[in-house]
Structure 1
Amino acid sequence: MNVKLVVVGKLKEKYFKAGIAEYAKRLSRFCKFSIVEVPDEQAPETLSQAQMDAVIEKEGDRILNKISDREYVYALAILGKERSSEEFAKEIDQLTTYGHSNITFVIGGSLGLSKAVLKRADTQISFGKFTLPHQLMRLVLTEQIYRAFMINAGSPYHK
């Protein structure tokens, strides 16, 4: 099984890198885990709606170039469906049972995801209405993926 994160921008803080590296190492017993970073579009601090749309579209094209037709795609979106850790674990288990061996999670840039990326996604997932830094979201998502595998393995990690 392959689990991939496609994310906009580079991870800068060492403590986020260390946390993600730890969960990636733990995940290696369950799957091949990878993170693909696509460049964020440089833009001025204040943007018109047309400029924002252009940034989102350019980042969206970069994201879509990293996703194949065979991948089952989760788009992280505030308006996506919230799931409990147990529901998420069951979903991952069912995906693998029904032949989805390539699961991809997409985290957009600071302006969000393009309509094309949201359309390509098989499902949208939300971690609530909080606004979180994208770098922190990578860590939270990686931990939740690990937690899902641990729940499915019957491990007491989740308790």
Structure 2
Amino acid sequence: MNIRIIAVGKIKEKYLTQAILEYTKRLSAYCRLEIIEVKDEKIPENASEAQRRKAVEIEGGRILSYLKDEEILATLEIQGDQLDSPTFARKIENYGIQGKSQITFVIGGSIGLSPEITSRSKWKCSFSKMTFPHQLFRVMLLEQIYRSFKIIRGETYHK
């Protein structure tokens, strides 16, 4: 299976980069992983709604340039379905059983995802109603993907 993560913004903290590298290494036994970073738009702290919409639209265009028609697009959204780890794993496994060999997870920027991206999503997923830092969330997503493959294969994983 091929897993892609398209994320808005760069990882700035060394400890997060190290965690991402660790999960990338672990996942290499289970899937082909590709992480794509797209540039985030800088907006002023007190940006108008029009400025925010424009920034999300620009980021959305950058994300769209990487999307393929044959993939399963999974967007990470607060409004998405909240799943426990076994259900998350089954969802990944079921896509594989259906012959869908590529899942692309999209992590938006600090002001969210464009409607053009969310409307194409086949799987809207939420890890919580809470808001997490986008850099940390990338590590959280990788950990859950790794946990999913351990669950799918019936392998033990510390809790």
Q: Which residue of 2 aligns with 1:10?
A: 10
Question: What letter matches 2:38 in structure 1?
Answer: V
Q: Which residue of 1 aligns with 2:36?
A: 36
Shift of 1:46: 1.2
Question: What letter matches 1:78 in structure 2?
Answer: I
Shift of 1:57: 0.6
Instruction: Extract unaligned runs of 5+ from structure 1.
Output: none
> Identity, % of aligned pairs?
48
CA distance in 2, matches of 1:121, 1:64: 12
Q: Determine if the alignment matches structure 1 residue 101 to structure 2 residue 101.
A: yes
CA distance in 1, matches of 2:20, 2:34: 11
Instruction: Extract unaligned runs of 5+ from structure 2.
Output: none
Q: Secondary structure at the match of 2:11?
A: coil
Give the aligned length.
159
CA distance in 2, matches of 1:75, 1:16: 21
Shift of 1:67: 0.8
Moved over 2 A (4+): none
Deviations 1:33-85 (A, max 9, x none): 01000000122121000110000011011111111101101100000000000
TM-score, normalising length from structure 2?
0.98
CA distance in 1, matches of 2:32, 2:128: 27
Q: Which residue of 2 aligns with 1:90?
A: 90
CA distance in 2, matches of 1:158, 1:58: 40
- What is the correspondence of 1:13-92 to structure 2 with a 5 Å cutoff? 13-92=13-92
CA distance in 1, matches of 2:111, 2:43: 11
